[in-house]
């Protein structure tokens, strides 16, 4: 039985790639140096995988920014606006074009926007969305795929396996930028380019090629199913002698099983961690010509594999189809897990023995194979670790379980309805129409981050650190007063990240030193690990909110991360339902909300940017999820008095299909991302007659560009045409932590001006 891997993290164990990219972007290192960092990382990754005994070592899983963007460059799907980047006598390379597509290009007289970014299925990884036009053409443009194969062939003994996004998923991941066609219709034009690349890979000696087709496990239309047949028949016909492995993950093919096993390919990879129930049906349906790659090691989480369970699946498959046709693999690319557990020296050894990061997961694949060959000792050791976790007193806290069991209807409802709350709150706050605010965070400058690094290294005392954070907070308050914002925030300088910060303070959570995973481009996160029942031993944010409120006469909004987002952006328990964990977190956040209210904070924002991305990949599973996710938010938000105003914030606000659930959250104010869609996303709220207050983002914070007063007034006019005036707030799209202070001040100054202008207009109409 061969050992297969689908992909490996590429950011570097110490985020070497992140640092090198950022230095390249700021002109501190040249192209050669960046390329050499990248080459070294690839070599290290290949070596680790080879040493772990992986037979099919992936290549082309490396990326400077994102693997979907890499495909767009390989397939020549480069939007026209980037043409000037490579022409007009600029000394740019293909790499600069690539980064321009990812990040925009504001240099030497050009101002070109970046391509859009969105979440990779239900993960916290973001990809760059391919743009498609009616007259879209494709041609083999970048030779990254073949170059990396050639490079990998030199580095590993067995023939490496190039990994590409399959043609149907590539199209479905993209977006039509013009009316009048469906992107799937572009398949005919796209396929010849795939055939060209695959044929060249074969000529260079490739034996296996992995084509990722996660959409094969999602709800598909008839037309999309047809596209799968067309695509793989065309590839099979034109590329004889290449073994194609189609990889599905994050769900099961389910009603697409017959289609999946009928594709004329050599192997199908299935995710048995997310969807173990599919195994029987797949084994039953698989024709003799099809091999199966069994994804038994969790590529999305950090728990040690339960060998006994995995071996059950593997043995069942052996009995059904024989071991010659089987591969053992992780469930999906290991991109979503941190590098190396061995580098974590601060974790309680009992808990550490329950965990496995990317490197350890390679070892697990090899262990499983060894156990099948008779190494029973490995199985015994694993059994002990699994049992130690199952019964550990560090995990189970009866009082937490009891409190969740006792949650009742009244814990999920505010005392009075929104209409009455709105009156009470308008009275209390006396804000102008179109009140201005921000989403919460202010620039996390290198200086601020360095303070935290020095605190961790022991170069600063806690008192010195806090004094510096207090200074930054006061400065932020003064700046906001000067700009003239109506509702202020404290700036979140004390937070490393909006989830990790809470993970460090809550019980049942564990945090790592180097457990980085890529979130987008060079941006990484260190998701905390939820290992046990969750409780809140002490206040988490009260000190900073109270401090900020004491330094101004204006309202300071308190800032919390919501239960669903904390769940979604952490590594979660796999020994209880996600809903159970979320309710535990919701109670902890509820206690914090009440503590903030007691400390005199009158507006409290509970961010839930991840509610939408948590939606199950199959529509049939939506209602159950929405029921508990919205319920958890309401538990967190409903402990306060009527006059306390609850805000929430969401990014990526495509709400058409879940608007009634957004309304059911019953937040007094919701701020959303709408500027990039020119307020289009607001229509869902207007059509629904969404009753509560809304702050539609008036400028995009993902770009350093300072928006003009006029463009924000235009957006506000659009919003006021759609929504009742007394319900509209004025704010940016999202938090400002990734921006610089100059940009932030300039943009917010213009934003406040825009609010003034729109208010003047209203007064004229009234008088």
Decide whether 525 or 626 has the Cβ nearer to ligand 39S.
525
Q: Under a CB-based contact definition with an 8 Å cutoff, are residues 138 and 197 in contact?
A: no
Decide whether 129 or 272 has the Cβ nearer to ligand 39S.
129
Q: Under a CB-based contact definition with an 8 Å cutoff, are residues 477 and 545 in contact?
A: no
Q: Under a CB-based contact definition with an 8 Å cutoff, are residues 596 and 542 in contact?
A: yes
Least distance to Zn ion, CB of residue 66, Å: 19
Distances in Å between the Cα of 31 and the Cα atoms of 28, 93, 152 are 10, 9, 21
The binder of ligand 39S chosen from 290, 311, 510, 525 (CB under 6 A): 525
Q: Is position 526 an interface residue for ligand 39S (rule: CB under 6 A)?
A: yes
Least distance to ligand 39S, CB of residue 696, Å: 19
Least distance to ligand 39S, CB of residue 177, Å: 24
433-466 residues labelled b (16+ CB within 10 A) or e (exposed) = bbbbbbbbbbbbeeebeebbeebeeeebeeeebb
Decide which of Zn ion, ligand 39S, none touches 519; Cβ closer than 5 to 8 Å per partner kind: ligand 39S
Decide whether 124 or 692 has the Cβ nearer to ligand 39S.
124
Decide whether 304 or 612 has the Cβ nearer to Zn ion.
612
In the chain, what is the greatest distance between 2 CA atoms, to the nearest angstrom? 88
Strand partners, 270: 294
Strands 267-271 and 517-520: what pairing? Answer: unpaired
Distances in Å between the Cα of 122 and the Cα atoms of 70, 166, 247, 482, 653 are 21, 19, 17, 41, 15
643-679 residues labelled b (16+ CB within 10 A) or e (exposed) = ebbbbbbbbbbebeebeebbbebbbbbbbbbbbbeeb
* Count of C-beta atoms within a 10 Å radius of residue 112: 17
- Return the residues of window 608-627 that contact Zn ion according to CB under 5 A: 609
Q: Is position 681 an interface residue for Zn ion (rule: CB under 5 A)?
A: no
Q: Is position 486 an interface residue for ligand 39S (rule: CB under 6 A)?
A: no
Provide φ and ψ at 507, rounded to 5°. -85, 145
Decide which of Zn ion, ligand 39S, none touches 453; Cβ closer than 5 to 8 Å per partner kind: ligand 39S
The binder of ligand 39S chosen from 359, 389, 452, 573 (CB under 6 A): 452
Q: Is position 651 an interface residue for Zn ion (rule: CB under 5 A)?
A: yes
Helix 709-722 / helix 741-766 crossing angle, nearest 10 deg: 50
> CB-side exposure of 112: number of CA atoms within 13 Å?
24
Least distance to ligand 39S, CB of residue 753, Å: 27
Q: Is position 738 an interface residue for ligand 39S (rule: CB under 6 A)?
A: yes
Number of residues that bind ligand 39S (CB under 6 A): 19
**Of residues 487, 434, 418, 429, the one with CA closest to residue 720:** 434
Distances in Å between the Cα of 752 and the Cα atoms of 5, 430, 747 are 52, 17, 9
Q: Is position 734 an interface residue for Zn ion (rule: CB under 5 A)?
A: yes
The binder of ligand 39S chosen from 446, 537, 553, 767 (CB under 6 A): 446
Q: Is position 28 an interface residue for ligand 39S (rule: CB under 6 A)?
A: no
Establish whether 182 is a catalytic residue.
Answer: no
Least distance to ligand 39S, CB of residue 455, Å: 9
- How deeply is 237 buried, as exposed, middle or buried, from its count of CB atoms within 10 A (0-12, 13-18, 19+)? exposed
The three-state secondary structure class of 132 is: strand
Residue 286 is encoded by which pair of tokens? 């698989």
Q: Is position 450 an interface residue for ligand 39S (rule: CB under 6 A)?
A: yes
Decide which of Zn ion, ligand 39S, none touches 367; Cβ closer than 5 to 8 Å per partner kind: none
Decide whether 144 or 452 has the Cβ nearer to ligand 39S.
452
* Listed ranges 94-102, 358-366, 519-527, 743-751: which one lies at the site for ligand 39S (CB under 6 A): 519-527
* Listed ranges 148-156, 348-356, 450-458, 641-649: which one lies at the site for ligand 39S (CB under 6 A): 450-458
Find the length of the chain.
Answer: 767
Decide which of ligand 39S, Zn ion, none touches 662; Cβ closer than 5 to 8 Å per partner kind: none
Least distance to Zn ion, CB of residue 421, Å: 24
The binder of ligand 39S chosen from 497, 533, 673, 733 (CB under 6 A): 497
Q: List interacting residues with ligand 39S (CB under 6 A).
A: 124, 444, 446, 449-450, 452-453, 496-500, 519, 523-526, 569, 738
Q: List interacting residues with Zn ion (CB under 5 A).
A: 609, 651, 734
Q: Active-site residue numbers?
A: 702
């Amino acid at each position: 039985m061969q050992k297969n891997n689908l992909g490996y993290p590429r950011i570097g164990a110490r985020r070497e790639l992140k640092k090198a990219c950022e230095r390249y972007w700021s002109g501190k290192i040249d192209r050669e140096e960046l390329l050499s960092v990248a080459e070294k990382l690839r070599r290290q990754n290949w070596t680790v995988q080879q040493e772990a005994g992986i037979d099919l070592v992936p290549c082309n899983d490396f990326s400077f920014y994102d693997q979907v963007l890499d495909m767009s460059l390989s397939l020549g799907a480069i939007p026209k606006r980037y043409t000037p980047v490579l022409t007009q006598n600029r000394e740019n390379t293909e790499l600069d074009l690539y980064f321009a597509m990812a990040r925009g290009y504001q240099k030497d007289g050009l101002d070109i926007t970046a391509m859009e970014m969105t979440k990779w299925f239900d993960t916290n990884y973001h990809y760059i969305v391919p743009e498609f036009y009616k007259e879209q053409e494709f041609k083999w443009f970048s030779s990254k795929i073949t170059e990396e194969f050639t490079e990998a062939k030199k580095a590993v003994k067995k023939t490496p396996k190039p990994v590409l996004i399959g043609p149907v998923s590539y199209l479905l991941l993209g977006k039509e930028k013009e009316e009048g066609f469906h992107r799937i219709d572009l398949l005919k034009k796209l396929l010849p380019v795939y055939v060209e690349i695959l044929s060249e890979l074969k000529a260079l000696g490739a034996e296996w090629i992995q084509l990722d087709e996660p959409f094969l496990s999602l709800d598909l239309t008839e037309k999309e199913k047809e596209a799968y047949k067309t695509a793989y028949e065309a590839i099979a016909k034109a590329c004889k002698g290449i073994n194609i492995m189609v990889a599905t993950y994050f769900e099961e093919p389910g009603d697409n099983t017959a289609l999946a096993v009928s594709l004329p390919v050599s192997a199908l990879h299935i995710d048995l961690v997310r969807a173990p129930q599919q195994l029987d049906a797949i084994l039953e349906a698989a024709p003799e010509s099809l091999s199966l790659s069994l994804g038994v090691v969790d590529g999305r989480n950090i728990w040690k594999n339960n060998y006994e369970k995995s071996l059950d699946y593997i043995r069942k498959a052996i009995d059904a189809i024989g071991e010659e046709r089987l591969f053992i693999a992780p469930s999906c690319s290991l991109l979503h897990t941190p590098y190396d557990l061995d580098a974590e020296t601060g974790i309680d050894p009992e808990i550490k023995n329950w965990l496995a990061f990317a490197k350890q997961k390679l070892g697990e694949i090899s262990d499983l194979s060894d156990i099948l060959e008779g190494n029973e000792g490995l199985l015994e050791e694993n059994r002990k670790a699994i049992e130690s976790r199952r019964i550990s007193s560090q995990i189970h806290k009866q009082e937490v379980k009891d409190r969740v069991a006792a949650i009742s209807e009244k814990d999920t409802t505010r005392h009075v309805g929104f209409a009455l709350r709105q009156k009470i709150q308008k009275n209390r706050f006396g804000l102008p129409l179109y009140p201005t605010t921000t989403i919460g965070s202010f620039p996390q400058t290198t200086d601020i981050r360095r303070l935290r690094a020095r605190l961790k290294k022991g170069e600063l005392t806690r008192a010195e650190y806090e004094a510096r954070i207090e200074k930054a907070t006061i400065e932020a308050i003064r700046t906001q007063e000067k700009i003239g914002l109506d509702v202020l925030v404290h700036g979140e300088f004390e937070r490393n990240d909006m989830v990790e910060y809470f993970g460090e303070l809550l019980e049942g959570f564990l945090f790592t030193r180097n457990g980085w995973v890529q979130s987008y481009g060079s941006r990484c996160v260190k998701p905390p690990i939820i290992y046990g029942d969750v409780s809140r031993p002490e206040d988490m944010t009260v000190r900073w909110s109270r401090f900020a409120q004491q330094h101004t006469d204006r309202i300071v909004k308190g800032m919390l991360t919501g239960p669903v987002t904390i769940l979604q952006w952490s590594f979660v328990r796999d020994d209880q339902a996600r809903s159970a964990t979320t309710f535990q977190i919701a109670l902890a956040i509820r206690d914090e909300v009440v503590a903030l209210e007691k400390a005199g904070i009158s507006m409290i924002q509970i961010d839930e940017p991840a509610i939408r991305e948590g939606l199950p990949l199959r529509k049939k599973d939506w209602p159950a999820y929405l029921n508990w996710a919205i319920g958890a938010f309401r538990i967190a938000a409903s402990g306060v008095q009527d006059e306390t105003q609850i805000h929430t914030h969401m990014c990526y606000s495509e709400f058409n299909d879940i608007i009634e659930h957004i309304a059911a959250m019953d937040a007094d104010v919701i701020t959303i991302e709408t500027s990039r869609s020119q307020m289009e996303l607001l229509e869902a709220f207007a059509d629904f007659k969404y009753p509560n207050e809304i702050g539609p983002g008036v400028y995009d914070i993902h770009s350093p560009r300072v928006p003009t007063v006029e463009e924000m007034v235009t957006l506000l006019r659009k919003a006021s045409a759609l929504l009742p005036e007394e319900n509209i707030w004025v704010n940016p799209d999202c938090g400002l932590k990734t921006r610089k202070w100059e940009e932030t001040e300039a943009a917010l100054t213009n934003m406040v001006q825009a609010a003034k202008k729109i208010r003047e207009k209203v007064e004229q109409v009234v008088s």
